[in-house]
Every structure is written in C-alpha cells, then in structure tokens.
Amino acid sequence: MADQDLVDVDPHSPGDASLPVFRWKQAGRTNLATRRQLREMGLRPGGQEPAARIECRGGKRFAWLYRIDLAKPKLPMTLAKEAALDRAMAKRQTCGTCRRRYFHCIPLRTLGSCLECFDGTPADPTSYIAHPAPDHRLAA
C-alpha cells in the first residue's frame, strides 16, 4: 500500500460533514471546552461557531464545544449591567404583600407572595430586609 492511499480519519466524526460528536468525558480538555468551562476560565465563545458536540445519556442531552484558542476574554460587569441585575433580582426577592426583600427568590409564580403572607408560616428575621416605612415629611 502506497503512502498516497492512506487517509487520516477522525474516529469521532459522524461521516456526514457535520460536527464531530464525542461521548461523555471523551472529548479531552486539550483544546475544546463547553460554555460553562470557558466561563470558569474567564473566557467566552466570542462569536465562534461550535467546533464539536458532546453527548450524554445516550444522546438525549448534549452540549456544544468551542475552541479555547479562539475564545475571547469575558466582558467586565458595568455599573449599568449591575444596576439592571439588582432590579431584576429585587423583583424576584420582594413580596408584593408585605414588601420584604428576602435573601433568596420567593415563589411568586406559584404562591404569589412569601410563605408568611400566604399561609402564616413565620419567616426568620435574618432571612429578609424589612421594607422601610415611607417618610411622610417628604410627601408635603
């Protein structure tokens, strides 16, 4: 057999010119990473297309893999982004009835309020910040 007859074959390529598919824990950490792994490294995909796909649970779940050498640094949090995030979290953590802001998200979608307002279960005073009373001197 001559050298020109040899062809380099990727064992992970599906053969239909699509992305290579790896099984769980078979991709290696040399040059590919998921979004979560990139985030842990302080990187982001940066607009690149996925380079491969990793599957688990018999192909029922998958994650895209990106090339680490093409990844870009994570963008820093700006004051405007931080303020928008705080407003969004305040809506998820504040009871509409008693106006307390909890340190965890409350079940607004299912209950509509905190447990204390819903069924009387007492809340731990260290788990929330009481809403300040309105100052009537400023209203005049």
Q: For the whole model, what pTM was predicted?
A: 0.53
Query: What would the pLDDT profile of 89-122 be if each residue is shown by its tens digit?
Result: 999 999 988 889 999 999 888 888 888 899 988 8
pLDDT band at 128; cut points 50, 70, 90: confident
Alpha-carbon dihedral 85, 89, 91, 94, rounded to 10 degrees: -150
Which segments of 34-138 are extended strands (E)? 43-44, 52-56, 61-67, 72-73, 101-102, 128-129
C-alpha–C-alpha distance, residues 41 and 49, integer Å: 19
User: Which token pair is 116?
Assistant: 């204390």
What's the mean pLDDT when you consider all of the chain?
A: 82
Please enumerate in sequence order all residues whose Cβ is within 8 A of that of 44, keeping only pairs 6 or more positions apart, or say none.
35, 38, 71, 72, 73, 74, 75
